[in-house]
A and B are shown apart, each in its own frame.
Chain A
Amino acid sequence: GENVEQHPSTLSVQEGDSAVIKCTYSDSASNYFPWYKQELGKGPQLIIDIRSNVGEKKDQRIAVTLNKTAKHFSLHITETQPEDSAVYFCAASGGGDSSYKLIFGSGTRLLVRP
Chain B
Amino acid sequence: GAVVSQHPSWVICKSGTSVKIECRSLDFQATTMFWYRQFPKQSLMLMATSNEGSKATYEQGVEKDKFLINHASLTLSTLTVTSAHPEDSSFYICSASSGNKNIQYFGAGTRLSVL
Contacts and interface: CB of A to CB of B under 8 A. Distances in A.
Interface of A: 32, 34, 36, 41-46, 49, 89, 93-94, 99-102, 104-107
A45 B97 CA distance: 14
Interface in B42-73: 42-44, 46, 49
B103 A49 contact: yes
Interface majority SS (helix, strand, loop, mixed), chain A: loop
B93 A101 contact: no
Given A89-B43, A101-B46, A42 B108 contact: yes
Nearest to B101: A100
Contacts of A100: 32, 49, 97, 101-102
A107 to B, nearest CB: 5
A46 B103 contact: yes
Contacts of A105: 43
